[in-house]
Amino acid sequence: MKLKKGDEVIITSGKDKGKKGKIEKVFRKSNTVLLPGLNVFKRHMKKRDENNPGGIIDFPRPVKVANVALICPKCGKPTRIGYKVQGDTKSRICRKCDSIL
Ligand SMILES: [Zn+2]
Better-predicted residue by pLDDT, 50 or 82: 82
pLDDT at position 60? 87
How remote is the CA of residue 3 from the centroid of ligand 1, in Å? 15
Would you say the pTM of this structure is higher than 0.75?
A: yes
Better-predicted residue by pLDDT, 52 or 83: 83
Amino acid occupying residue 56: I
- Print the domain residue range for 48: 8-94
58-91 per-position pLDDT tens digit: 888 999 999 999 999 999 999 999 999 999 999 9
How remote is the CA of residue 25 from the centroid of ligand 1, in Å? 23
Q: Does residue 67 belong to any structural domain of this protein?
A: yes
Q: How many domains does the chain have?
A: 1
Q: Does residue 46 belong to any structural domain of this protein?
A: yes
Measured between alpha carbons, how far is 17 from 13 in angstroms, rounded to an integer?
5
How remote is the CA of residue 75 from the centroid of ligand 1, in Å? 4
Confidence band (pLDDT; 50, 70, 90) for 57?
A: confident
Report the CATH number at residue 76: 2.30.30.30
Q: Does residue 66 belong to any structural domain of this protein?
A: yes
How remote is the CA of residue 62 from the centroid of ligand 1, in Å? 25
Residue 51 has pLDDT above 90, yes or no: no
Q: Does residue 44 belong to any structural domain of this protein?
A: yes
3-state secondary structure at position 96 = coil
How remote is the CA of residue 93 from the centroid of ligand 1, in Å? 8
pLDDT at position 59? 84
Q: Does residue 101 belong to any structural domain of this protein?
A: no
How remote is the CA of residue 7 from the centroid of ligand 1, in Å? 13
How remote is the CA of residue 19 from the centroid of ligand 1, in Å? 19
